[in-house]
Amino acid sequence: MRDLLLAIGLILSTGLSAPAFEVEQERIFGDPDGRELTILSTTDVPAIAPVLEAFASANPDIRIRYMQASSIEVYRAIHDEQAEIDLVMSSAMDLQMKLANDGYAASISPDPGGLPDWARWRDQLFGIGLEPVLTLASRRGLGDLPPPRTRRDLIAMLRENPALFDGRIATYDPQRSGVGYFLISQDSGQSEGFWRLAEVMGRLNGQLYCCSGEMIDDLRAGRITIAYNVVASYAARYAPDDPDLIRLVLEDYTFAILRSALVPVNAPDPKLATDMISFMLTPEAQRIIAASAGVAMIPGTGPRPSVYMRPIRLDAGLLVYSDQLRRDGLLAEWNAAMVQP
């Protein structure tokens, strides 16, 4: 079915000279006849719509063509296909960094507002919002068990209650999801205990998902009990106030990844894209983004990050995660841990 859809997509794309990369969703904001700003992003439409609408109403002669795609597709579109996109937003920090390093990002000078230094990379990559990576648990699924506070607690809980959690624990599939791969690479670098967790998840027939949304859906439907590594803004959006959902901010560490924006060197309208970035860094836009993520990137625009939170900096070191050899090594390790005989 998937292959068929892909084939149809390919035929359509060649026939209509539509982008060769796979777009999951596309929407137009603002004046249909206005000056076009093309945005390619990993952020799903509902999360960003208020910001785009605010920009469109502030600039009535603008038409925003917003395309949402997976992080790997976003990277491919720019790196391999040099698609004509004005603005690229992605939460896959390593891929964004690689785009900037390999010379695909233009040097721009938006008004950075109160953007902290760690949230930008020179004049090419600009942080747009923090996205905490949480562990979600279903209250019903846990039963009488107390919610774990650390990964150690989580591992112990899983080990002690194999019957309760067998096939009911979920996480990203790093093979399919760029964010998923990035998160396990961060996890593995952060703590040796992560591999123990992976092994436990493997033993319990952990479920692998492509996207946060599906994980949350299954969690709420009661098909799974624990979702490890869920991007918080999804959780906030898909289950704004579900009393069954417990958001666990694990106290040993909780990552916050940075959604970042860049303007490709071949952007048709870099000026407009720069204006868009400036707009997204204004306090009002930041307040919308922080409200959705539950944490503020620019101090003063929303809730402060919890003390357990470790925002990942935009740093040249991120380049190492996109190395093929390293990736192969890490995925081999992951498979060894997850897929058990």
Partner 1 sequence: MRRPITARPAGFSLRRRLVWQFATLSVLLVVVLFFAVRLAAERASRASQDAVLGAAVIAIGDGIRPVEEGLSVDLPYAAFSMLGAMGSERIFYSLAIGPRLVSGYENLPQPPVAPGDLSPVFYDAPYHDSQLRLAAVTRRVLLDDSLQEVTVVLGQTRNGQAAIARETARSAAWVGIGFLLLAVPMALWAARAVIGPVDLLAGAVTRRGPRDLRPVRHPAPRELVPLVAALNGFISRLHSTLQLTETFIFEAAHRIRTPLSLVRVEAEIALSETDEEETRARLRRMLRAINESSRSASQILDHATVLYRSEQFEPASLDLGQLTACVLRAVDPIAEMREIEIVSSGLDLPCPIQGDERMLEVAIRNILDNALKYSHDEGRITVTLRQSDGRAALLVEDEGRGLAPGDDRLSGRFRRGSNVGDVVGSGLGLTIVEEAATAHGGSFILQSRAEKGACAIFYLPLA
By C-beta, is 82 or 306 nearer to partner 1?
Answer: 82
Distance CA 117, CA 247 (A): 29
Distance CA 155, CA 197 (A): 6
- Told to check if 109 binds partner 1 by CB under 8 A, we report no
By C-beta, is 17 or 109 nearer to partner 1?
Answer: 109
Least distance from partner 1 to the Cβ atom of residue 95, Å: 15
Residue in 116, 167, 320, 340 binding partner 1, rule: CB under 8 A: 320
- Told to check if 18 binds partner 1 by CB under 8 A, we report no
Least distance from partner 1 to the Cβ atom of residue 326, Å: 5
Residue in 24, 81, 84, 102 binding partner 1, rule: CB under 8 A: 102
By C-beta, is 24 or 328 nearer to partner 1?
Answer: 328
- Told to check if 341 binds partner 1 by CB under 8 A, we report no
Distance CA 220, CA 215 (A): 9
Q: Cα-flanking dihedrals φ and ψ of residue 262, to 5°? A: -145, 160
- Told to check if 326 binds partner 1 by CB under 8 A, we report yes
| Crossing angle of helices 270-280 and 283-293, rounded to 10° | 70
Other Cβ atoms closer than 10 A to 76 = 17
Contact assessment for residue 66 and residue 27, using Cβ atoms and an 8 Å cutoff:
yes
Among 206, 251, 262, 211, residue whose Cα is nearest residue 233: 211
Least distance from partner 1 to the Cβ atom of residue 101, Å: 5
Length of the chain, in residues: 341
Q: Map the footprint of partner 1 across residues 148-207, applying CB under 8 A.
A: 189
- Told to check if 304 binds partner 1 by CB under 8 A, we report no
Mapped onto helix, strand or coil, the DSSP state of residue 204 is coil
Least distance from partner 1 to the Cβ atom of residue 272, Å: 24
Read off the tokens for 74: 């976003």
Read off the tokens for 338: 């997850």
DSSP secondary structure of 162-174: HHHHTT-EEEE-T
Residue in 103, 146, 240, 341 binding partner 1, rule: CB under 8 A: 103
Number of residues that bind partner 1 (CB under 8 A): 19
Residue in 10, 11, 12, 332 binding partner 1, rule: CB under 8 A: 332
By C-beta, is 160 or 328 nearer to partner 1?
Answer: 328
Amino acid found at 29? F
Q: Which residues bind partner 1 (CB under 8 A)?
A: 101-103, 122-123, 189, 315-320, 323-326, 328-329, 332
